[in-house]
Amino acid sequence: MWFALYIVVLLPLIGVFARHERDFGPARGGRPVPHVRLLTGLLLICLGLAMTAAISIASPEGVTGVRLWVVALPFAGAALVGFGPLYRWLSRRPKSEPRP
């Protein structure tokens, strides 16, 4: 019964959000992301989520009380893959022109 309820609730949500999945194109201006970057980003995201579950983001030491490296790992991995706030911030920065 629970599986049927999940399916009934999930099907309309798939209809609503499926168009957003199709709109996401390759990062880097239409060029595909290299496999090494995809794998590295995936590993950083998974490591960050695993560390969040294993040791939490709360830290008794330090000024902030937060393990910033644990919080930063998924964001860095997402930036490598080509999405997320860190990627958007880095892609908006003006590129320096090479000097002759």
Q: Is residue 52 part of a domain?
A: yes
Amino acid, res. 57 = I
- The total of structural domains in the chain comes to 1
Q: Is residue 38 part of a domain?
A: yes
pLDDT, position 31: 72
pLDDT for 73 beyond 90: yes
* Cα 6 to Cα 48: distance, rounded to the nearest angstrom: 29
pLDDT for 99 beyond 60: no
The pLDDT tens digits of the residues spanning 18-61 come to: 776 654 555 556 677 888 988 999 999 999 999 999 999 998 88
Q: Which residue has the higher pLDDT, 27 or 83?
A: 83
For residue 77, the enclosing domain spans 33-93
